[in-house]
Amino acid sequence: MAAPILRGLSLGAAVAALRPPGPLITARAFYNTRRLGLDLNGFYLPHSESPEWQRGARAQRKRYGRWGSASGVPATSLWPEAAELAQHQAEWEPSLQQMLSDIRVKELEREKKEKERQKLIATNMAKMPKMVEDWRREKRELKIKQREEKARREHLLSEARERFGYSIDPRSPKFQEMVKELEKEEKKKRKLMKRRKKEETSGSEVAAAGIL
C-alpha cells in the first residue's frame, strides 16, 4: 500500500516520509585507548612501563644486533661491565693453575670412586660362598616342601576316595569340608601326643626322685 502513496512524491519527500519520527540516536562506545610503543615501520620500541625483559641489556643487545644503529641503542652501552667481564673470564678463561687444580680434583674423585667400587666387589666376593650355600639350602627346602605338599595332597585324595567311594574334585565343597575335619582330627592327635609325652616326662622325673 505504501507504493501508491509514495508514487506521486519526489525522492526527497519519499525519504522524509519513510524516516521515523523523533531524533535518531546512535550508540557510541567511549573508552580511553592507550598508545602502544610500536614502530610499525620496523621494530618494537619498549617504553618506560615495558617489562624488564624488553628493556634489559640482553634485549638491547638483541635489538642492536638485528637493527644496528637504527634501533636507537648506543653501541657503547652494550659493552659488558667490569664485574660481568670478570665473571665471564673466570668462568670461560680460567688460569693455568685453576685448570691444573680442576684436573687434580677430578682425578682424585675418579680414584675415590674406583676404590669404593673395588671395595664393594671384594666385600661381595667374600660373601659369595655363604650366598651360594644359602641359595642351595633354600632350593633344597623348597623341593622338600613341594614333595611333602604333593604327598599330602595324594593322601587327601586317597582318603576322599575311600570315604566317598569315588574320585572327587579337590575344589569341591565336599573335599574342602573333609580336609577341615581331618585337620581338626590331626590337631586333636597332636594335643593328645603332647599331653602323653608331658605325663611320661613327669612320671620319669618322679621315679628318678624316688630312687634318689
- Averaged pLDDT score across all residues of the chain: 78
Query: Cell digits for 148?
Result: 611333602
Give tens-digit pLDDT for 52-81: 888 788 888 888 888 788 788 888 888 888
pLDDT at 24: 47
51 pLDDT band, cuts 50/70/90, is confident
Instruction: Burial-class residue 14 by CB neighbours within 10 Å (0-12, 13-18, 19+).
Output: middle
* pLDDT computed for residue 115 by the predictor: 96
pLDDT at position 164 is: 78
Of the pLDDT bands very low, low, confident and very high (cuts 50, 70, 90), residue 31 is: low
Q: What is the pLDDT of residue 11?
A: 54
**Is residue 44 scored above 60 in pLDDT?**
yes
Domain boundaries, the chain: 96-180
Q: How much of the chain exceeds pLDDT 90, in percent?
A: 23
Output the pLDDT for position 208.
Answer: 63
Least confident piece of the model among 39-53, 58-72, 87-101, 193-207: 39-53
pLDDT tens digits for 163-195? 777 777 878 888 888 888 888 888 888 888 888
Q: Which of 21-30, 95-104, 152-161, 183-192 has the lowest mean pLDDT?
A: 21-30
161, 167 in Cβ contact below 8 A? yes
Evaluate whether 73 touches 60 at the Cβ level (below 8 Å): yes
pLDDT of residue 6: 45
